[in-house]
Amino acid sequence: MGLCTNSLIVVATIKTKSLHSTCNILIAFCAFSDIVHQMGHLPKILPIFEGTVEISSIACSISQVPR
C-alpha cells in the first residue's frame, strides 16, 4: 500500500504545476526515498513469500514485534 500511495504522491507532484512549491517537492522526495527504502526489503521478503525459504515460528514472531 505504501508503494502505491508514495508513487501517487510523486506522480501528482510532477504532473501538477501548482504542486511545484519547495515544500511539496520536499514531500515528493521523501515519498521517493520511502519507495527506494521499501524496494530494498524485497530481496529479503520475496523468498519467504515464494516458499523457497522457511522461517521458524520464533523468528516470525520476533520479526513482527514493533521495536
Q: 9-66 pLDDT, tens per residue? A: 999 999 999 999 999 999 999 999 999 998 888 887 788 778 787 778 888 788 777 7
The pTM of the full predicted model, rounded to 2 decimals, is 0.68
**Residue from 7, 10, 3 nearest 45 by CA:** 3
pLDDT, residue 48, reads: 75
CA-angle at 34, arms to 48 and 46, nearest 5°: 10
pLDDT, residue 11, reads: 97
The continuous run of DSSP H or E covering 33 comes out as helix 22-40
Q: Check whether 67 has a pLDDT greater than 70.
A: no
Rg (CA), the chain: 17
